[in-house]
Every structure is written in C-alpha cells, then in structure tokens.
Structure 1
Amino acid sequence: MQKILKERLYSYLVDNRVDLFLDLQHKGGLKEYLNSSVSAIAPQIREMQESGEPDLYIEEYCMDELTRKLRPSPFLYLYRVLEEEFEEDFHRMREDGILTYELINILGCCRDIFERNAFSEETEEDRYLRYEITGAVGDYLSGS
C-alpha cells in the first residue's frame, strides 16, 4: 500500500505541483519527501486495514490527506491565467517548449501575491487575487 501511495503522490506532484517536484528533485529531497509523507499516515493506513476498509477506499482517503496541503496548485492556477488571459503568449511558449520553464519563473514572481492572499481552496476564486496575478503575469511578459 505504501509503495502505491508513493507512486501516486509522485504522479500528483508531476501533474499538479511541478514547481515543488522540480525543487525537491533539484535539492535531492524528493525520495525523502515521498517517504516521510507516506510514513506520516502509516498509522491511519494500519488502522483502516485492521478495520477491514477496502484498499481502494484507503488509497483515496490517503491521497486526499497527502495532497491536502498541496491544494490548490499555484502552478496550475498560473497555467489557467496564462492560457485564458494571455492566449498568444501561452501558445507561443507551448510551441517553443518553454511553457513549464516560464510558468516556474512566473510563479517565482507571484509567490508573494499567493502568500499575501493566503492562497487556498477558499481564496482560489477571489477576483481580486485573479486581478493581481493577471497584472503580475502581464508585467512579467512585458519585461517590467
């Protein structure tokens, strides 16, 4: 079960938090992150297995727990903003093969905005956050 959860968490990071994935990989901490994250919920896994919960239910519950602090993804938020508000730049970057690279750079420029607005599932739809992020992306793209 723990091996499956580590694989699923790895895939989640690649698909949803590529910024964190690359940072952990660069620092050599990816394996430790996966191991410690899954080890932290090992008691819950044992308890659920002992109570006879189906493996599929345990996996889904554990993935929800493992990804709770990782949601929502600032990377995917910026992806959507770039795709919706700066469509031409988005397509150019994707065609040039630099979209992920540029999104990570943009994320670095917007990190303070996300923190100041306490980016979370509750604030993700805040229009003022969207305006502020859109302005910062526009500044980044114009080289300001």
Structure 2
Amino acid sequence: MEQLLKEKLWAYIIENNPELMFSLQEDYSVRKYLDDKVTALRSQFEQWKAEDLPPYIMEEQALQELTKDLRPSRFHYIRDILEIEFTTDYLRLKEAVVLTYEVVNLIETCKEAFEAIGFSEENKESRRLRYAIMGIIAQYLENK
C-alpha cells in the first residue's frame, strides 16, 4: 500500500503543486520527500488496521492526510484567476506552451501576499486575497 500511496501522492503533486514538483526534481529529493511523507503515517496505518478499516478507506484517509499541507493549490488558484480575469493573457501563455511555467513564477511572485493574507481552505474565497493576487498578476503581466 505504501508504494501505491507514493504514486498517488506524486500524481497529486504533479497535478496540483507543480512548483513543488519542480523544486523536488531540481534537488533530486522526490524519493526522499515521498518516503518521508508516507513513513510519517505508519503509526496511523497501524491504528486503522486495528480498527479493521477496509483498505480503500485507509487509502482515502491516508491521501487526505498526505495532501493536507498541499491544499488549497496555489497553482490552480492563480491559473483560475488568469483564465477568468486575464483571459487574453491566459490564452496567449497557453498557446505559447508556457502557462505552467508562468503560473509557477507567479506563485513565487505572489508568495508574500499568500502568506500575509493567509491562503487556506477557509479563506480561499476571500475578496481581499483575490484582489491582491489580481494586482500582482496585472503588474507581472505588464512587465512581460
């Protein structure tokens, strides 16, 4: 089950957190990251086994736990704002096949705003956060 969880976690990261994917690959630390995350759940696995939970439930709960600190996705948040509020730029970047690259750059550019306002599941719908990120994106695109 551990190998399956590592594969699913990696697939989640690729889809939702490409900035982390690039960072882990650059540092050659993908395996260590995945091993450490799954190993940290071993005692929880034992508890779930003792509770006689079915494997599919254990897998689902493990994935929820493994991705807890990766949610919500800053990548999807910024990409969605680009698509909705900056449609022309979004389409231009997508057509030039640099959308993912530019969104990853924007994640770093918006880092202070995300941290200052506190990006979380609870406030991802915050208008204050959205307008702050939109302002940063507009400035970033102006310089492109």
Matched, 1:47 2:47: yes
Aligned partner of 2:29 in structure 1 is 29
Alpha-carbon separation, structure 2, partners of 1:117 and 1:15? 24
Aligned partner of 1:69 in structure 2 is 69
Task: State the shift of 1:70 in Å.
Answer: 0.8
Alpha-carbon separation, structure 2, partners of 1:33 and 1:81? 30
Gapped runs of 5+ residues in structure 1? Answer: none
Q: Give TM-score scaled by structure 2 length.
A: 0.97
Alpha-carbon separation, structure 1, partners of 2:104 and 2:52? 43
Aligned partner of 2:112 in structure 1 is 112
The DSSP-based 3-state class of the residue aligned with 1:34 is helix
1:126 aligned partner, one-letter code? S
Map 1:1-144; keep pairs closer than 5 Å. 1-143=1-143
Following TM superposition, the consecutive aligned residue runs of length 4 or more in structure 1 with deviations greater than 4 angstroms are none
Alpha-carbon separation, structure 2, partners of 1:42 and 1:94? 41
Gapped runs of 5+ residues in structure 2? Answer: none
The DSSP-based 3-state class of the residue aligned with 1:105 is helix
1:99 aligned partner, one-letter code? L
RMSD: 1.0
Aligned residues: 144
Give aligned-pair identity as a percent: 38
Task: State the shift of 1:7 in Å.
Answer: 0.5
Task: State the shift of 1:24 in Å.
Answer: 0.9
